[in-house]
Amino acid sequence: MADSKLPKSALSRRVYLIYIIPAGIYLLLLALYPFVNLLWMSLSNVTTLNIVRGSWPFRGLSNFVALGHLSDFVLAFRNTLVFVLIVVSVGMLGGLGAATLLQVKGRLSAVGLGLMVFTWAMPPVVLGSLWKFLLLPGGLVNSILATLHLSKGPLWLVQENLVLVSVALVNSWAVIPFSALVYRAALIDIPVELLDASSVDGATPVQRFLRIKMPLLLPITLILTVLTVVYAFRSFDFIYVMTYGGPGVASTTLPFLSYRLSFINYKYSLGASVAVFTVVIVFILAFVYVRALRRTEQT
Amino acid sequence: MGVIFLIVIYGVPLLWLAATSLKDNRAIFANPGGIVFSPSFQAYAQMAREGTLGRAALNSAIISIGTTALTLLLGIPTAYGLDRVRGATLTVGLGVLVLLQMIPQTATIIPLYRVLGAWRLLGTLPGVVLADTALYLPFTVLVLRPFVGGIPREIEEAAAMDGARTRTAFLRIIVPLLANGIATAASLVFILAWGEFLYAISILTSPDTYPISALISQQISAYGASWSGLMALAVIGSLPILVVFVVAQRRLASGLSLGAVK
């Protein structure tokens, strides 16, 4: 009779675990094992000769030490930090701003929200290609700037001191809808009575925003920050399509560097080292943020 | 007022995408920022003649549908099992999934290339499907779990008292109740897989097998001058997204904020 009723206690746990097994095995083989492989690669010397077959000579941490001396790595690290900073700040502030603007009900809001969500859903290769075109020296953006007599029209994707920012801004643009959706849901959750009561007490919209909305939005902001930071660190598609890391390494971030080292320079071990380094940084950052989140939840 | 601004910065680029695909290539070359133009279907006609589009679209469809199906097949039971098992297993499981999601694609492609090579799956579309599924499975489980959480355990207990086994309860009762969540997850995974190109260009060897996203990524480097062609390809490549969007807009919006945040 045991198998004709809902199992209880230890037996029931076993049944539920069975449901997890297929995905567990799958991820073990195609996600966890490759990751361990990556770690091993970063600690050995892997070349085109021994990547598929053959054994890898162990090299300890020498690859990581070599990275420290590689100017491309240092530059890529700095670029990644700048990139993440831009995408997180513009992406989240833009999202909050958009969510606030979209609180107004009506057709226009619906259209605006729809366009934003659709943009988010589009493949990054398409969006990146589109903006590459828009940011051409004679492209639409510069045409508009010229018509408004604002600027001669910078070389967005060519000037070394501008490339990274340009790609970061495009990436932010693509990511704002996500933050906007999250903030929109959070704003809707704020009890109307709270806001009405404060109006009665004479609070201005700005005060309402700063004193009531922002503190209530703090937990969601922290979660969103973790997600956006992780996303920005991993971001690869836009750079690949818009600038291919260039000119030189002006727009190379850590993920792109690891790709280039492995697939263009065939320096698999170095590429793996950069990748492991990136993952470690991301893990640490996420850990720190989750800690902060727990603390705010306790207060 | 501000909403108009949003409509402009999100509407104009999309409009420009469509408009450029209808321009003559020489006109673009002369003036990439030109607003006035006479429409021409030259780019689309050329694509139709060359025939690459049909093949690429089929490849995209195989990859996206295959990945969506496989992730759901593996992910739905996992979301159910994880949510119901509770306790330490749940915490560890979620932790592993969240960590896996943080690993950049460029990190996993290197060893994944080797694993697929050992299984002789390099250069094949199923190889890409397997790689993409591994990539999107954690996300799928994380999106589905809140939906499973929304189904009260009493339903399973009631089914058990009627004599149903767990598996029957799962298939006949839980899964149908998850229809909403499944539709949300399916839409999201399909969109993501449709746009995925790194695994595709790394695993596939022949451009014949490239999906549209891979073609677009390569067009940039190879055919820098044919903007109308590229935009036309991009427009066609975006149509399925448009379809999914029109059908599932509300689900996308809620699934994103719900699943990703909780």
Q: What is the pLDDT of residue A54?
A: 63
The segments of chain B whose pLDDT lies below 70 read 24-38, 48-49, 220-225, 253-262
Chain B CB contacts of A51 under 8 Å are 114
For residue B248, tell me if it sits in a domain: no
Determine, for residues B231 and A133 on separate chains, whether the beta-carbon distance falls below 8 Å: yes
Which chain B residue shows the shortest CA-CA distance from A277?
B107
- What is the pLDDT, as a whole number, of residue B222? 42
Q: Which residues of B touch A131 (CB under 8 A)?
A: 13
Q: Do A6 and B166 lie within an 8 Å CB cutoff?
A: yes
Closest residue to B3, CB basis, from A41, A112, A144: A112
Separation between Cα atoms, residue B68 and residue B86, nearest integer Å: 26
Read off φ and ψ for residue A167, nearest 5 degrees. Answer: -65, -40
Question: CB neighbours of B107 closer than 8 A, spacing ≥ 6?
Answer: A35, A38, A255, A258, A272, A275, A276, A278, A279
- In terms of CA atoms, which chain B residue is nearest residue A229? B102
Q: Is residue B101 in some structural domain?
A: yes
Chain B: nearest CA to A273, how far in angstroms? 9
Residue-wise pLDDT for A255-293, tens only, equals 999 999 888 888 888 888 899 999 999 888 888 877 777
Give the largest Cα separation in chain B, rounded: 75
For residue A58, the cross-strand partners are A44
Give first-to-last CA distance, chain A, whole Å.
Answer: 49
Cα(B102)–Cα(A90) distance, rounded to whole angstroms?
21
CB-based contact B14 A256, cutoff 8 Å:
no
Residue type, A278: T
Q: What is the pLDDT of residues A33-62, one digit of tens each?
A: 889 888 888 888 777 666 666 667 777 777
Number of domains chain B contains: 1
CA B201 vs CA A58, A187, B84, B165: distances in Å: 30, 41, 39, 45
Interface contact flag, A6 B160, Cβ < 8 Å? yes
Distances (CA, A) of B109 to A103, A276, B117, B132, B222: 42, 13, 12, 10, 23
The H or E element that residue B220 is part of is helix B212-222
Q: Is residue B13 part of a domain?
A: no
Contact assessment for residue B96 and residue B177, using Cβ atoms and an 8 Å cutoff: no
Note whether residue B258 is domain-resident.
no
**Domain presence at residue B166:** yes
Find the CATH number of the domain harbouring B149: 1.10.3720.10
- Give the C-alpha separation, B34 to B30, whole Å: 9
- Could you give the CA distance from residue B168 to residue B146 in angstroms, rounded to a whole number? 22
Residue with tokens 């700048």: A82
B115 touches chain A (CB under 8 A): yes
Contact residues, chain A, for B111 at CB < 8 Å: 33-35, 37-38, 41, 272
For residues B259 and B143, the answer to whether their CB atoms sit within 8 Å is yes
Contacts of B221 in chain A (CB under 8 A): 244
Domain membership of residue B114 as a residue range = 42-234
The whole-chain average pLDDT of chain A stands at 83
Q: How many CB atoms lie within 10 A of CB A2?
A: 7
Task: Check A283 against B102: CB less than 8 A apart.
Answer: yes
Residue pairs spanning A and B at CB distance below 8 A:
285
Task: Give the pLDDT of residue B221.
Answer: 40
Which of A23, A101, A138 is facing B78, going by the closest CB pair? Answer: A23
Burial (Cβ within 10 Å: 0-12, 13-18, ≥19) of residue A198: middle
Optimal mutation site among A1, A25, A27, interface B, most CBs of chain B within 10 A: A27
Task: Count other Cβ atoms within 10 Å, centred on residue B20.
Answer: 25
| Residue B205 domain flag | yes
In the predicted model, residues of chain A with pLDDT beneath 70 are: 1-12, 48-55, 296-299
Return d(Cα B107, Cα B128) in angstroms, integer. 16
Hey, what domains does chain A have and what are their CATH numbers? Answer: 71-298 (1.10.3720.10)
Indicate whether B96 belongs to any domain: yes
Q: Do B77 and A278 lie within an 8 Å CB cutoff?
A: no
